[in-house]
Structure 1
Amino acid sequence: MTKTALITGAASGLGYELALLLANDGYNLILIDIDNTNLQIAKTDIENMFSCNVSTLLKDLSKPNVATEIMEEINHVPVDVLVNNAGFGLFGTFANTEWERELDMLHVHILTTTHLTKLVLEGMLKRGSGKILNMSSLAAFQPGPLMSIYYASKSYLLSFSEAIANELKGTGVTVTALCPGPTKTSFQKVVSKNTSENKISFNMACASEVALYGYNAMQKGKTVAIPGILNKFLSTIHRFVSRSMATRIVRNLQEKNRD
């Protein structure tokens, strides 16, 4: 039987690349994004390349109860793979950034992701199979001055994923947290014109390569996936320097790459 994958933030970047990989493996797709123009382009491109059914949902994942809306609109179709990819960043000191934007981020990264995972997980457990891929980040491994909410929310996603992956052992359902470093996607445009994410070219990864690494890790049931040797090392830097030192290093990197 043909399986179904649901991908959030699927109109571009890592979400789109993961959708391509799933389509190539014969999955029918449910693509969700707030960008309707690119969402429809993604749908057309994938249908032209692969023999699969592609459905789209235009959704703002920062809205309360949107996960429930999604499940109702897809008529509770069995979801075999859930990719929680949607997200964005915000640059600036916490005292000066806009609360409304930060609240949106917390909804997208934490509340909607957690709720959608819970709703999809119910069916996966009944069927005794399923795969969940949560988009965390290398940022999850240390505090991030000047992007405090982003770093903290990615830490939540990593911790949450590891915890439920442990709970689900032996059920046939696996959870993978993908933790990429800087990656060439539209993410950089959303954060701010004055952010390090727009300026760093060092250690910048290709979206298709990151997606393939995460996809393979998900298919193998790996809990934490960190693409790149340097990123693997950076994720362990807290073993070699104090947490306060790691925080200062992140702050310096952010400041050096501002206008």
Structure 2
Amino acid sequence: MRTILITGSTDGIGLSLARRLGARGDRLVLVGRRPRVELHDPIFSDSTYCQADLAQPGCERRVVRWCGEQGIDTLDLLVHNAGTGYWGATEDQTSEDIARVVAVNLSAPIALTHGLFDRLSAAGGHVVFVGSVIAALPCPDYAVYGATKAGLDGLARNLVYELAPQVTTQVIHPGATRTGFHEKIGVSSQALDPWRFPTAESVAARIERKIGKRRRAMIGLGNRTAWSLGRRLPSVMDALIKPRTSPGTSLLPRPEGRRHAVVTGGADGIGRALVTALVSRGTAVTGVDVDQERSEATRESLTGKEAPVSFLSADLSDPHDRAGVVAKLCTQEPIDLLVHNAGINIVGRLQNLDLDGMLKVVQVNLLAPMEMMAHLLASGHIREGGTIVFVSSLSHFVGYPAASVYAATKDALASYSRSLGVALRNRGVNVLTVFPGPTRTEHARRYSPDNSRDRSRMLPEDLADRILKAVERRRRILIPGWTNRQAARLGFWLPAITERAMARAILDLGET
């Protein structure tokens, strides 16, 4: 008899899957947000149901503690099925809504996999992440949801190597399903008719058949086709998909005169190079950085140059600091160029890392830029004709075992950028996604297991110049450097080769 834990088990796909697996005689551990007294299906009992709100910090401790109280020392299967979303224009989504979607869809799977690893390892267990085919498509009306599902896909892709050999991993992507999910997140039946989708029971049956097979699986021919088209013909799919929701604010027209740019993570590395290059081009710059000493040094080095530069001090992992930065930016000149460059990393096998450190990566790399975008768009503080730049990573194409959480956030950021580009294209704002490879910065040296080839990495000044040229040409995608473009092509068409190569180069070297 297997022991199986399923999150999001009180309705929809999770409930249907629980019923199917319970009928086989497996021991179920069912996790949900609803109180036990509201659940009348006989599969729910005090010995099978753990009430836990996955949007809350520390939810994984509640689940781990409950398993201990029930004498559950091993887990054969962990199914991350819980999910939530939001439907509407980007600027209408509150910080609380954004944080809730990120917490449930991405942070909770990270935390639960980390907290339950020993039980999974003891059984030679298997982890299933239930994603969505929307991860491969632009979704302008629910960009945060799509981003978290893309992040989940990236997480699973790299955990295949990090959790091995004790635990195996896969991600299964269903499409839209006939459940109450769409109504819960605010989708009207006029915008999306749920009755044309397959039932939760039929999707759960297909998921059950896929468990333990391919590392990435789609449910149904239509969804496989949509996934393939979304990945292989992105410009075509982006052109075909149109927002169904209307923005509530208008953007300011661009006047003549000096432009204003905002660069997060602007005191060092790529960010500092961008700030310097922008000032030399006569653009006024506001940098955002947590390091006050480096911020001041950067500001002083550029005093008296072609344009003014100032810095705002903020820890982007802190929600109060994020709100404070946006409030201060809204008192300044409207923004012509916004570069989301700030990023941090944590390296090692997920099961060996500090959970708070991993969740901080999610906060800085993903939650901060999404919250900032929602508020700045809502305030109308982005100029018409302006550009928004998101700095993702070459890991989007080649993988990054030993940095699965970082890779997940960069995959999520690329998805969010793509969706935002579709949402804003009729408002005169261009959105550029940058996928830099190894760069000669302190950040790269800090997290690399091998710095012997540091001199072969791209200089941050070279990268900054390429980014600003792409901004001027209003490009939407930039993979800077010939070597990086070839690596991206290889990773796109033959992902298993690049992933295994990265795993050998990073995991094996880092553990010797």
TM-score by length of 1: 0.90
Larger Rg: 2
What per-residue deviation string (whole Å, max 9, x for no partner) do you get for residues 53-110 of structure 1? 2221111011124332112123432111111111122110000111111111101110
What is the Cα deviation at residue 255 of structure 1? 3.1
Structure 1 residues 125 and 221: alpha-carbon distance in aligned structure 2, compared to 1, 3 A threshold? farther
Say yes or no: does 1:113 pair with 2:369. yes
Structure 1 residues 197 and 161: alpha-carbon distance in aligned structure 2, compared to 1, 3 A threshold? farther
Say yes or no: does 1:246 pair with 2:501. no
Q: Which amino acid aligns with 1:52?
A: A
Q: What is the rounded CA distance, in whole Å, between the counterparts of 1:67 and 1:208 in structure 2?
A: 27
What is the Cα deviation at residue 32 of structure 1? 1.1
Which residue does 2:291 correspond to in 1? Answer: 35
Q: Which amino acid aligns with 2:408?
A: A
Say yes or no: does 1:228 pair with 2:484. no
> Tell me, which stretches of 5 or more residues in structure 1 are unaligned?
none
Say yes or no: does 1:183 pair with 2:403. no
Q: What is the rounded CA distance, in whole Å, between the counterparts of 2:307 and 2:275 in structure 1?
A: 11
Match of 1:66 among 321, 326, 332: 321
- Note if contact 2:272-2:298 (Cα within 8 Å) is conserved in structure 1: yes
What per-residue deviation string (whole Å, max 9, x for no partner) do you get for residues 173-209 of structure 1? 1111111110011103543xxx336444375111110
Match of 1:212 among 439, 445, 465: 465
What per-residue deviation string (whole Å, max 9, x for no partner) do you get for residues 207-248 of structure 1? 11011111111222111101111111111224442x444322
Aligned length: 254
Q: What is the rounded CA distance, in whole Å, between the counterparts of 2:380 and 2:429 in structure 1?
A: 7
Say yes or no: does 1:104 pair with 2:104. no
SS in 2 for 1:183: coil
Higher relative contact order (CA 8 A, sep 6+): 1
Q: What is the rounded CA distance, in whole Å, between the counterparts of 2:446 and 2:440 in structure 1?
A: 13
> Tell me, which stretches of 5 or more residues in structure 2 are unaligned?
1-256
What is the Cα deviation at residue 33 of structure 1? 0.8
Structure 1 residues 89 and 163: alpha-carbon distance in aligned structure 2, compared to 1, 3 A threshold? same
C-alpha RMSD of matched pairs (Å): 2.1
Which residue does 2:410 correspond to in 1? Answer: 154
Say yes or no: does 1:255 pair with 2:255. no
Which residue does 2:427 correspond to in 1? Answer: 171
Q: What is the rounded CA distance, in whole Å, between the counterparts of 1:147 and 1:67 in structure 2?
A: 24
Q: What is the rounded CA distance, in whole Å, between the counterparts of 1:197 and 1:59 in structure 2?
A: 31
